[in-house]
Structures are given as C-alpha cells and as structure tokens.
Amino acid sequence: MSGSINIQGNSAQPNSTQINNVNLSTSGTAYTIEDVNRDCLRTLRCPNSLVLKNRLKENKDRLLYESIEWIFHDQQYIKWQDGDDLGLLWIKGGAGKGKTMMSIGLIEQIPHRQSRSTIMTYFFCQNADYELNTIESIVKGLILQLVNQQEQLTASLRRRWDTARKRFDEGITWRMLWHIFLEMVNCCQCQRVYVVVDALDKCEDKGIADFFKLIVRTGLYPPFKIKWLLTSRPWDSAEQKLLVGADQVLVSLELNSDHVAEAVKTYIARKVEELDRNQRYGPSLRQEIEKELRNRAEETYL
C-alpha cells in the first residue's frame, strides 16, 4: 500500500511544530485531518451528553437553582471544588432526592464559579437504554464532550485510527477508551477538568467494580487537575471502592435531610404558585394545597 502526506502553508516557531493544513493520501484517496476526525468519532458512536442533558431538562420541571445553593456552601464540596487535595466527590441519596437535577445544576454552575480555566465533561446513566447504561458509553460520552471543547484532543484517537480501512487498529474496549480519555485529559489546555457522572447505580455493566478501581488508581493524581463528581443511590460496594483514600469524600443527601427538605418545600411552593396563576385558587386554597403536597412528598421530589 502506497501513500503520501502533503503539508502546505505551515509555519513553526523554533523548537516547536505547528501543522495547520494536512492532506493524507492513501490508495489515491485524499483525506484532511477534519475528515479523519469525523470518521473516528462517527465510528465510535459516542452518545451526546449535551443532547441528553437537554432532554432531561425538558422531561423534568425547571431547575430551581436556589434549591441546590446549599451544596455550594458544604465544606466537603468546597474542598473538592476549589482545593488541590481532593480529587473525587461522591454524592449519594435515595430515590427522589433530586440527584440528577443537582448534577445538571452543578454542570451548569461550576464553570461560572471558577477563576481558573476549566473544562466540564459529563454523562447521565439511563438504565432503560443500553447505549446509556454501560461503562463504554460513559467513557465515550466523556470523550465526545472533551473533543467538542478542544478539537486538538482528537489526536489521541487519530493515533489509533486506520484511515484506509476506516477502523481503529484494534477492537475498542472500554479499558482502551479509558486510556484514551486519560491521555486527552493530560493534553487539555486548561487548569481543571471537572467530570460529572450521574446515576452510576443505573450502569448495568458487570465491570463496574473494575471501573471504580481504575478511577481511584489511575484517574486521581495530585495536584488533581481532574475532579470527579459521581452520584448514585446508596451503594455499599461502591462505597468500598470509591472511598478508600483521604482524597475521596462523600456528601450524603440523607445526612443533609434538612437541606433536601427545604429544597423540596421551595419546589412545591413554586409549583403551587404556577398553578395558582392559572387556576386562581386564592390564598386559603393555595395554602391548603401546598400543605397537603408537603405532607405527601415526605422530603422527596417523587
């Protein structure tokens, strides 16, 4: 097999390399770097976390940012977000405690609360969809988020790509994807990379225990350029794997029940206010409905 590389209109500073325009030719077919990038990503079939986030927001009620404001004042959270000594924060809570909406709020708020350059990548596990409930889908989603923000990171994929056959040199496993992801994070042109993976308990992959081990053993390294935020329901086996060092911490929604209860109360009050505008209940009936809903809610959003 013969091929050629044509590099035109490129310049570089001393002791550096800069390549802007590249044409790869294999068996008479010319490819640009953009073509190769698109082929790589198309073959990977990465789930789009941004589309999924927007779909979740459409299917749920509008997020009330004041309902999650308390987490930004939690001492464990502050140390994780701003410090150099903590690399992983696990938020656990039972069904209906608002974990997914909290994840969405944190994803949208964290970049605006940072003075340093920051990248946010995230994924939402969905147990009813096979393409959204495996470790492979999690890592693919994180990779797509990274390259969408810094296109040069696709170089990590191109190095493993066979342009002529339009496939990766070896079968891609989630472990291979994991190493590609870590390589991309190391090459990110920013000071911090925040990684949010919501509802890990909905991941139905048999290798989840190994995934937890890899996060702790290879995904955490001081001074913690990468910051992991994971959410799930209470999960004893996950706790044994994820909270094994001083650089991993937990925020339990059950232990912060006062904050959760206040958030649910705020949510109910806002919903009743919306209904009152349409139905014109009047003050007395409105208060009665709000009280009944609070009693039934039992400090959850269910």
For 97-101, 170-174, 196-200, 245-249, which range has the lowest pLDDT when averaged over its residues? 170-174
Q: Which residue has the tokens 């001074």?
A: 223
- Measured CA to CA in angstroms, residue 54 lies from 46, 128, 196, 243, 281 at distances of 17, 18, 15, 31, 32
User: Given pLDDT bands bounded at 50, 70 and 90, which one contains residue 6?
Assistant: very low
DSSP code, position 256: T
* Out of 136-140, 211-215, 278-282, least confident range: 278-282
For residue 111, pLDDT beyond 70: yes
Flag whether pLDDT at 5 surpasses 50: no
For 138-159, b where at least 16 C-beta lie within 10 A, e where not — what string?
Answer: bbbbbbbbbbeeeeebbebbee
Tokens describing residue 16: 């550096």
Average pLDDT score, the chain: 84
pTM of model > 0.85: no
User: What is the C-alpha separation between 243 and 223, in angstroms, rounded?
Assistant: 18
Rounded to 10 degrees, what is the CA torsion of 227, 232, 238, 243? 40
Residue 15 pLDDT > 70, yes or no?
A: no
d(CA 138, CA 143): 9
Q: Which stretch of DSSP H or E encloses residue 76?
A: helix 75-82
Q: Under 8 Å CB-to-CB from 290, ≥6 apart: which residues? A: 268, 269, 272
Rounded average pLDDT over 206-222? 88
Cα-Cα end-to-end distance for the chain: 61
